[in-house]
Amino acid sequence: MPTNKPCNTLLPMRAILQNDLLPLMRSKSAVMKIDVEGPEVDVFTCSSAGQFFDQTDVPLVFMEMESV
């Protein structure tokens, strides 16, 4: 169905950071699976995940990465 919008127009989306999950955590430990398409290096920054990793024991992170 045509929308009369240019092809590069994206709908707004909302993202949450790992630090945003802390109030929802029922445990102080977690196993994580991360699926990121592209900016894998930007997933675990201090500002987005620092508090999460300071307050949560994460013994295993399963992360798919595209080989170049």
What is the tens place of the pLDDT at every residue in 18-54? 899 999 999 999 999 888 777 767 788 899 899 999 9
pLDDT at position 68 = 63
On whether residue 2 sits in a domain, the answer given is: no
On whether residue 44 sits in a domain, the answer given is: yes
On whether residue 5 sits in a domain, the answer given is: no
pLDDT at position 36 = 77
**Number of domains, the chain:** 1
Choice between 12 and 2, residue whose per-residue pLDDT is larger: 12
On whether residue 3 sits in a domain, the answer given is: no
pTM above 0.85, yes or no: no
On whether residue 8 sits in a domain, the answer given is: no
pLDDT at position 5 = 63
Q: How far apart are CA 29 and CA 18, in angstroms?
A: 14
User: In the numeric block, which tokens belong to residue 9?
Assistant: 């127009």
Nearby residues of 24 by Cβ (< 8 Å), 6 or more positions away: none
On whether residue 43 sits in a domain, the answer given is: yes
Residue (of 47, 43, 49) closest to 63 by Cα position: 43
- Give me the domain span that covers residue 48: 18-22+30-64
pLDDT-derived band of residue 16, with 50, 70 and 90 as boundaries? confident
The partner residues of 35 in beta bridges, in order of sequence, read 64
On whether residue 40 sits in a domain, the answer given is: yes
